[in-house]
Structure 1
Amino acid sequence: MAGTYITIDAPGGGQFRAYLAEPRGKKGKAPGIVLCQEIFGINAYVRETADYYAEEGYVVLAPDLFWRMEPGVDMGYSPEEWQRAFGFFQKFDVDQGIEDVRATVKALRARADCSGKVGVLGHCLGGKLAYLTAARVDVDAAVGYYGVGIEAALDEAKNIKCPTVLHFAELDQYCGNEARDQIYAALKDRPEIELYTYPGVDHAFARTMGDHYDKPSSIMAHSRSIAVFRKAIGPRYDLSGLWDQHCYHEFATRDVAATMKTMVDEPYVNHIPTMTGGVGAKELARFYQHHFVNANPADTKLIPISRTIGADRVVDEMLFCFTHDREIDWMLPGVKPTGKYVEIPLVAIVCFRGDKLYNEHIYWDQASVLVQIGLLDPKNLPTAGAETAKKLLDEKLPSNTLMQRWAESAGK
Structure 2
Amino acid sequence: MNGQWTQVTSRDGGTFRAWTTLPPEGSGPGLVLLQEIFGVNASMRALAERYAEEGYVVMVPDLFWRLEPDVDLGYEGADMAKALDLYDRFDVDLAIDDIAQTLAALRAHPSQRGKVGAVGWCLGGRLAYLAAARTDIDCAIGYYAVGLENVLNEADTIRCPLMLHFPAEDKWCDAAARERIAQALAGKPGVELYTYPGCDHAFASAARPQYDKPAAMMAYSRTLAMLRRVLGPIYDFNALWEEHCYHEFVTRNPHDVMPTMVAQPYVNHIPTMTGGVGHDELKRFYTHHFVHSNPADTRLIPISRTIGSDRVVDEFIFCCTHDREIDWLLPGLAPTGKYFEVPMLAVICFRGAKLYNEHIYWDQASVLAQIGAIDPTGLPIAGIASAKKLLDETLPSNTLMPAWQTSEGKPF
Band the TM-score falls in, shorter-chain normalisation:
over 0.9
Q: CA deviation at 1:250?
A: 0.3
Give the equivalent residue in structure 2 for 1:304.
302
2:23 matches 1:15: no
The 1-side partners of 2:374 and 2:160 are apart by 57
Give the equivalent residue in structure 2 for 1:133.
131
Question: What SS class does the counterpart of residue 268 from structure 1 fall into?
Answer: strand
Q: CA deviation at 1:190?
A: 2.0
Q: CA deviation at 1:173?
A: 1.0
Q: CA deviation at 1:290?
A: 0.2
The 2-side partners of 1:234 and 1:163 are apart by 14
Deviations 1:336-366 (A, max 9, x none): 0000001100000000000000000000000
Question: What SS class does the counterpart of residue 151 from structure 2 fall into?
Answer: helix
Deviations 1:223-281 (A, max 9, x none): 00000000101000000110010000000011101100000000000000000000000
AA of the residue aligned to 1:9:
T
The 2-side partners of 1:270 and 1:241 are apart by 22
Question: How do 1:355-374 residues align onto structure 2 when only pairs under 5 Å count?
Answer: 355-374=353-372
AA of the residue aligned to 1:12:
D
Give the equivalent residue in structure 2 for 1:34.
32
AA of the residue aligned to 2:68:
E
Query: Do the aligned residues in 2 keep the contact of 1:304 with 1:317 (CA within 8 Å)?
Result: yes
Query: Do the aligned residues in 2 keep the contact of 1:36 with 1:126 (CA within 8 Å)?
Result: yes
Give the equivalent residue in structure 2 for 1:290.
288
Of 96, 113, 134, the residue aligned with 1:98 is: 96
The 1-side partners of 2:255 and 2:189 are apart by 45
The 1-side partners of 2:55 and 2:125 are apart by 21
Of 65, 68, 73, the residue aligned with 2:66 is: 68
AA of the residue aligned to 2:293:
A
Question: What SS class does the counterpart of residue 67 from structure 2 fall into?
Answer: coil
Q: CA deviation at 1:178?
A: 1.1
The 2-side partners of 1:78 and 1:192 are apart by 37
The 2-side partners of 1:60 and 1:77 are apart by 24
The 2-side partners of 1:140 and 1:239 are apart by 24
2:109 matches 1:111: yes
AA of the residue aligned to 2:158:
I
AA of the residue aligned to 2:61:
P
| Same amino acid, percent of matched pairs | 60
Deviations 1:49-73 (A, max 9, x none): 1111001110000000000000000
AA of the residue aligned to 1:41:
G
The 1-side partners of 2:159 and 2:392 are apart by 48
Of 396, 407, 410, the residue aligned with 1:409 is: 407
Of 221, 239, 242, the residue aligned with 1:241 is: 239
The 2-side partners of 1:2 and 1:208 are apart by 21
Question: How do 1:329-348 residues align onto structure 2 when only pairs under 5 Å count?
Answer: 329-348=327-346
Question: What SS class does the counterpart of residue 205 from structure 2 fall into?
Answer: coil
Question: How do 1:120-269 residues align onto structure 2 when only pairs under 5 Å count?
Answer: 120-269=118-267
Query: Do the aligned residues in 2 keep the contact of 1:188 with 1:194 (CA within 8 Å)?
Result: no
Give the equivalent residue in structure 1 for 2:6.
6
The 2-side partners of 1:276 and 1:116 are apart by 41
The 2-side partners of 1:295 and 1:196 are apart by 44
The 2-side partners of 1:329 and 1:199 are apart by 39
Question: What SS class does the counterpart of residue 246 from structure 2 fall into?
Answer: helix
The 2-side partners of 1:338 and 1:250 are apart by 23
AA of the residue aligned to 1:404:
P
Query: Do the aligned residues in 2 keep the contact of 1:17 with 1:63 (CA within 8 Å)?
Result: yes
Q: CA deviation at 1:148?
A: 0.1
Question: What SS class does the counterpart of residue 405 from structure 1 fall into?
Answer: helix
Q: CA deviation at 1:329?
A: 0.3
Q: CA deviation at 1:191?
A: 2.6
Query: Do the aligned residues in 2 keep the contact of 1:130 with 1:144 (CA within 8 Å)?
Result: yes
Query: Do the aligned residues in 2 keep the contact of 1:110 with 1:116 (CA within 8 Å)?
Result: no
Question: What SS class does the counterpart of residue 315 from structure 1 fall into?
Answer: strand
AA of the residue aligned to 1:15:
T
Query: Do the aligned residues in 2 keep the contact of 1:345 with 1:364 (CA within 8 Å)?
Result: yes
- Please, what TM-score do these two structures have when normalized by structure 1? 0.99
Q: Point out where structure 1 has 5 or more consecutive residues left out of the alignment.
A: none
Query: Do the aligned residues in 2 keep the contact of 1:297 with 1:326 (CA within 8 Å)?
Result: yes
Measured on the aligned residues, the alpha-carbon RMSD in Å equals 0.7
Deviations 1:163-186 (A, max 9, x none): 111000000011111111111122
Give the equivalent residue in structure 2 for 1:77.
75
Question: What SS class does the counterpart of residue 325 from structure 1 fall into?
Answer: coil
Q: CA deviation at 1:2?
A: 3.1
- Please, what TM-score do these two structures have when normalized by structure 2? 0.99
Give the equivalent residue in structure 1 for 2:398.
400
Query: Do the aligned residues in 2 keep the contact of 1:23 with 1:54 (CA within 8 Å)?
Result: yes
2:56 matches 1:58: yes
The 2-side partners of 1:297 and 1:186 are apart by 60
The 2-side partners of 1:258 and 1:69 are apart by 51
Give the equivalent residue in structure 2 for 1:274.
272
Q: CA deviation at 1:80?
A: 1.1
Q: CA deviation at 1:116?
A: 3.2
2:379 matches 1:381: yes
The 1-side partners of 2:286 and 2:161 are apart by 41
Question: What SS class does the counterpart of residue 227 from structure 2 fall into?
Answer: helix
Q: CA deviation at 1:370?
A: 0.3
Q: How many residues align?
A: 410
The 2-side partners of 1:186 and 1:83 are apart by 33
